[in-house]
Amino acid sequence: MERTMISTGGNTKRVVYFQGGIHAREWVSPATVMYMTNQLLENNGEGFLDEFDFFIVPSLNVDGYEHSWTSDRMWRKTRSTRAGYVCVGVDPNRNYEYKWNELNWLLFRAEGSGSSGNACSDTFRGPSFHSEPEVEGTTRFLKDLKEEGRDIACFIDFHSYSQLWLSPYSYRKLYAENSDTQVGAAKEACAALEGVHGTAYTYGPSAITLYAADGCSVDWGYAELGAPYSYVVELRDTGEYGFVLPENQLLATGEETYAGLKALLNSIKNNS
Ligand code: 0X9
Ligand code: ZN
């Protein structure tokens, strides 16, 4: 797994972290994260480097991504194998520690709340939280930054598809304590995004806007890591091509998402 840092040095600036490719088949995600990384590098951080250090993981689920190129275009999960499991892989976006399998324990059942205990399910949560090295490695790195005293401003996990900019909570239909602030910044991001090519986005708290799912990155970023702005973004499209978005839409997706990111960061800057 590769990680990029964009910084002018020192270790006092607030941290902006984003990742792509947690789900293998969502190919527009790593492409968009790479596009935005390149834009930041070519444009000297767009004036954000006095305020923020960027940490970027463009392709979190690298083994799954490769599998989606070579064997199964619709592969979603990691490629981990375990003795006693018939099926391969864990859904890394059900594998985060925060509220992992929480509701299921309470309700005394194996299913429910948007993650599965069945290893053959596409939403298999794994045998334990952070069982997947991709999740363990990226969360450990961010926790270490926090323990070094860094202020984590923002965490974003880019997916596809549905054109949504979602904030916590994901595990239940609950509002985050600072939901108005997070949704307000998402609204500005979506307005800027739409301004580029007219692509319409919906924004709001994750479970309320979409569906409940526990062990998701967006809840971990907010509630465990402590980023006051945490999002899961579903990129293009709304279902016409779905995961198999044509190549000729990648650049436009990068351009509009980058405009959204910049608006979000300006909103974060102005709110503190
Ligand atoms: O289910 C997911 O992990 C995400 N959707 S995807 O189609 N990319 O797999 C959405 C996660 C957002 N969280 C909730 N909706 N609760
Ligand atoms: Zn996804």
Q: How far apart are CA 112 and CA 58, in angstroms?
A: 31
Is residue 104 predicted with pLDDT exceeding 70? no
Span 165-180, mean pLDDT? 96
Residues comprising the chain, all counted: 272
Q: How far apart are CA 184 and CA 148, in angstroms?
A: 30
Residue 91: is the preceding peptide bond cis (ω within 30°)? no
Q: Let me know if 111 is a catalytic residue.
A: no
Catalytic residue among 132, 134, 188, 234: 234
Residue pointed to by tokens 């949704």: 183
Instruction: Using the mean position of ligand 1's atoms as its centre, give its distance from the Cα of residue 231 in Å.
Output: 11
Q: First-to-last CA distance in the chain?
A: 33
Find the ligand nearest to 30 CA.
2
Ligand 1 pocket test: which of 60, 78, 93, 164 has the largest number of ligand atoms within 8 Å of its C-beta? Answer: 93
Is residue 113 predicted with pLDDT exceeding 80? no
Q: Any bridge partners for residue 199, and if so which?
A: none
pLDDT digits (tens, 9 = 90+) for 47-84: 999 999 999 999 999 999 999 999 999 999 999 999 99
Span 199-214, mean pLDDT? 95
Is residue 177 predicted with pLDDT exceeding 60? yes
Span 95-104, mean pLDDT? 87
Q: What is the pLDDT of residue 107?
A: 66
Q: How far apart are CA 36 and CA 255, in angstroms?
A: 8
Is residue 203 predicted with pLDDT exceeding 60? yes
| Ligand 1 atom with the shortest distance to the CA of 169 | 16
Q: 51 with 91: CB under 8 angstroms?
A: no
Q: 229 with 151: CB under 8 angstroms?
A: no
Ligand 1 pocket test: which of 211, 222, 233 has the largest number of ligand atoms within 8 Å of its C-beta? Answer: 211
Is residue 86 predicted with pLDDT exceeding 70? yes
Q: What is the pLDDT of residue 1?
A: 85
Q: Per 3-state DSSP, what percentage of the chain is helix, strand, and coil (rounded to 5)?
A: 40, 15, 45
For residue 267, the SS3 value is helix
Residue pointed to by tokens 């984590």: 152
Instruction: Using the mean position of ligand 1's atoms as its centre, give its distance from the Cα of residue 55 in Å.
Output: 22
Mean pLDDT, rounded, of the chain: 95
In this structure, the number of other CB atoms found within 10 A of the CB of residue 215 comes to 30
Is residue 108 predicted with pLDDT exceeding 90? no
Question: Among 11-15, 105-109, 265-269, which is the least confidently predicted range?
Answer: 105-109
Residues with CB under 6 A from ligand 1: 23, 26, 93, 159, 166, 170, 206-207, 210-213, 216, 232, 234
**pLDDT band for position 103 (cuts 50, 70, 90):** low
